[in-house]
Amino acid sequence: MLRRMLIELKRCNAIDKLNLNPTSTDARMDRYVQRVSRAFFAPMAMISVVQGNRLWLKARHGLDMQSALRSEAFCEYVLDSVEPLEVCDALAHELFRDLPLVTGDIGVRYYIGMPLILSNGIGIGSLCVFDTVKRLGASREQLALLKAMAHQAAISLEYQMQ
């Protein structure tokens, strides 16, 4: 519990230092999102930043939402990882089948997300792809691109603060 609180404090401090405007979009982030959406032949993709109990979108493709509760998002589960999280059928997955993104209007069935990890090792969000149909796993090439784009997005967010 204490370890988790320290990680959250470090995450919030790191995001504060980035001086991000939650309501503004960024053309670079939009390019990363569009590129992974095309590579996965998926209708939706986003870059999220998680702070406290909310996540907000720094870029999005195919989604109208700007923010969400952290507890209602897939990003919560990828945030402190170093590997991608892939859910091929969210309706069949015990952790995700009741999320509003799955049960609501968006109807997410497939999700893959890679954490955005800053140079200090702190995960601040994710780059992820969604589809409304279940899928087989991503190819090696798709995974490599997702990892590279998430890394570039994290570098871009850090670079803009300098």
3-state secondary structure 103-147: HCCCCCCEEEEEEEECCCCCEEEEEEEEECCCCCCCCHHHHHHHH
Euclidean distance between CA atoms 52 and 29, whole angstroms: 22
Of 60, 86, 76, the residue nearest 11 (C-alpha): 76
Q: What is the pLDDT of residues 70-123, one digit of tens each?
A: 888 888 888 878 899 999 999 999 999 999 999 998 999 999 999 999 988 889
CATH code of the domain occupying 2-159: 3.30.450.40
Rounded to an integer, the average pLDDT of 33-46 is: 96
Kindly list the domain boundaries of the chain, sorted by start residue.
Answer: 2-159
59: helix, coil or strand? strand
Q: How many CA atoms lie within 13 A of 148 on its CB side?
A: 10
Which band of pLDDT confidence, cut at 50, 70 and 90, is reported for residue 56?
A: confident
pLDDT at 2 over 80: no
Left if phi > 0, otherwise alpha if psi is -120 to 50, otherwise beta: which for 42? beta
